[in-house]
């Protein structure tokens, strides 16, 4: 492979650090960049001062240039504000997907162009492969437990032509072993968890500070009132804990009506649906045929189930628990990503 100019998104974690190290080892002209995305309180993501310092120190060890790009305004506008607005309307957004869509593979890919870099690389656990027909494809990672292809399912073929995932062929154990062999300072650093702009356990407080409180009723599937709440932002479809009601048996949130601030609860079987309305479909290549059997994944670490995409709806082979509006649906053909959609109301 010819040496290329590669911009590596370095979060300060071990995966992106090893991605950069592997590319240096392969002889590429590598530049590291860390994104400043959130200026507020954070203890669970990749936006802290210590994360930037970890990335900077690894870049220095690898003897590559390192820069920090400030995208806080764009992040607030395209990730944080939509996140808050979604909860205010009873939806449940996926901010990591929005960040990938607008920031990491939007603004940053544009910046790579401006810097004359042919490739943008990240530490995501996913595989970019070239098929027998010459088309680039996105595949699940070698390490199934760490696979992140779900949050990348909105990428197009044009984007994938410019993006590399160097650690996708490695298990997490192999990534850490390589980092230890290189004596990287973050070799055993824990993975980032949760939403990067919200502290652990702080979602309700974060939303309470930004979404006007509007009290409402909690009703059962027959319409009988079983409790009250202080705001719909603290609920999501499928939620079981923290409902603030005592019914003697397990109850789940099965619906949220933002217009009346009503939360409906029911049994687990009340969540089952045979179809799922979706919109905003994107596909790596071609739109699948209506009768094409697909694997459908509705959560980052959920199990993919059988279904078909028919006229704006996912039709499941067997009924599945309802998915919260605003969530991403990823479509697979085996281990290959076909595309994605967003769950509608």
Q: How far apart are CA 92 and CA 131, in angstroms?
A: 35
Residue 43 has pLDDT above 60, yes or no: no
- Decide which of 281 and 38 is more confident: 281
Residue 100 per-residue DSSP state: I
Residue 208 has pLDDT above 90, yes or no: no
Backbone Cα Rg of the chain? 21
- Annotation says 117 is catalytic: no
Mean pLDDT confidence for 67-80? 94
Q: How far apart are CA 282 and CA 53, in angstroms?
A: 36
Mean pLDDT confidence for 135-158? 97
Mean pLDDT of the chain: 92
Q: Environment class of residue 279 by beta-carbon count within 10 Å: exposed (0-12), middle (13-18) or buried (19+)?
A: exposed
CATH (residue range 213-266): 2.30.30.280
For the chain, the domains span 5-123+166-181, 213-266, 272-343
Residue 198 has pLDDT above 90, yes or no: no
The number of CA neighbours under 13 Å toward the Cβ of 225 is 7
Percent of the residues in the chain that have a pLDDT greater than 90, as a whole number: 79
CATH topology of domain 5-123+166-181: Rossmann fold (3.40.50)
Confidence band for 41, pLDDT divided at 50, 70 and 90: low
Residue 101 has pLDDT above 90, yes or no: yes
Sign of CA dihedral 107, 109, 115, 116: negative
Q: Where are the alpha helices (DSSP H) in 216-282?
A: none
- Annotation says 99 is catalytic: yes
Q: How far apart are CA 309 and CA 307, in angstroms?
A: 7
Per-residue pLDDT at 345: 67
Residue 274 has pLDDT above 60, yes or no: yes
Selected catalytic residue, list 47, 99, 117, 281? 99
The CATH homologous superfamily to which domain 272-343 belongs is Translation factors (2.40.30.10)
Confidence band for 46, pLDDT divided at 50, 70 and 90: low
What number of other Cβ atoms are within 10 A of residue 123's Cβ?
A: 23
Q: Are 125 and 147 a contacting pair, CB within 8 Å? A: yes
């Amino acid at each position: 492979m010819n040496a290329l100019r590669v911009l590596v998104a370095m979060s300060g974690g071990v995966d992106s650090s090893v991605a950069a190290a592997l590319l240096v080892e392969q002889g590429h002209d590598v530049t590291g960049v860390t994104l400043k995305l959130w200026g507020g309180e954070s203890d669970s993501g990749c936006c802290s001062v210590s994360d930037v310092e970890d990335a900077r120190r690894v870049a220095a060890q690898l003897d590559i240039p390192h820069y920090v790009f400030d995208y806080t305004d764009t992040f607030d506008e395209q990730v944080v504000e939509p996140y808050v607005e979604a909860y205010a309307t009873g939806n449940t957004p996926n901010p990591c997907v929005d960040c990938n869509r607008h920031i990491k593979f939007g603004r940053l890919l544009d910046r790579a162009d401006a810097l004359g870099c042919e490739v943008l690389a990240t530490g995501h656990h996913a595989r970019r492969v070239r098929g027998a027909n010459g088309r680039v494809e996105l595949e699940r990672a070698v390490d199934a437990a760490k696979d992140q292809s779900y949050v990348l399912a909105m990428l197009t073929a044009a984007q994938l032509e410019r993006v590399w995932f160097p650690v996708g062929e490695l298990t997490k154990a192999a990534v850490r072993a390589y980092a230890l062999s290189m004596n990287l300072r973050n070799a055993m650093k824990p993975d980032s968890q949760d939403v990067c702009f919200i502290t652990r356990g702080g979602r309700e407080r974060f939303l309470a500070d930004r979404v006007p409180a509007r009290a409402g009723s909690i009703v059962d599937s027959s319409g009988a009132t079983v409790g009250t709440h202080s705001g719909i932002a603290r609920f999501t479809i499928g939620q079981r804990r923290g409902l603030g009601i005592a019914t003697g048996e397990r109850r789940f949130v099965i619906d949220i009506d933002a217009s009346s601030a009503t939360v409906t609860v029911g049994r687990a079987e009340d969540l089952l649906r045979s179809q799922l309305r979706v919109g905003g479909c994107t596909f790596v290549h071609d739109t699948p045929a209506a009768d094409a059997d697909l694997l459908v994944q509705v959560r980052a670490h959920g199990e993919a189930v059988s279904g078909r995409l028919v006229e704006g709806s996912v039709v499941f082979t067997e009924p599945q628990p309802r998915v919260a509006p605003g969530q991403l649906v990823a479509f697979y053909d085996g281990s290959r990503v076909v595309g994605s959609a967003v769950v509608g109301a």
